[in-house]
Amino acid sequence: MKDVLKVAVLCAAVACVAAAIGYAKGPPPPNASLPAKAKAYGRYCQNQSKKHVPGQKGTPFSQCVTAMAKLATGKTDSPKAACSAMSKKHVAGEKGTPYSRCVAAGAKLLADQKKQQNP
């Protein structure tokens, strides 16, 4: 019985390590599934609020994920243009504006894509 438990724990550890390696490789390829892309783009937008802002379409987080998708698919080449729907107002207690954090995340995404294309 103990051997079975050891094998199960070992398999779980290997699965976690494999997932971490896959996660650290950067943005997913263009032909990846939609859930895989959404999770990867969300990694760049972790610093965005998930609370709905009155007068805005969606949450800052969802707007940022949408902007990252536009950048990754090539609909726009500029993080500035992709994040233009984001609020430019400062929020008390947070660094920067949602727009500025989105632009920074977009620049990181483009840098990761460039690094992935030219290893």
pLDDT, tens digit, 9 for 90 and up, residues 30-71: 676 766 665 678 899 999 989 887 888 889 999 999 999 999
pTM value?
A: 0.67
- Closest to 112 in 3D by CA, of 18, 39, 28, 32: 28
Burial 12-22 (b: 16+ CB within 10 A, else e): eeeeeeeeeee
Long-range residue pairs from 54-61, CB within 8 A, at least 24 positions apart, any chain: 56/87, 57/85, 60/86, 60/87, 60/98, 60/102
* Residue in this structure with the two tokens 């990181």, named with its chain if needed: 108
Q: Is the pLDDT of residue 19 over 60?
A: no
* pLDDT level of residue 98 (50, 70, 90 thresholds): very high
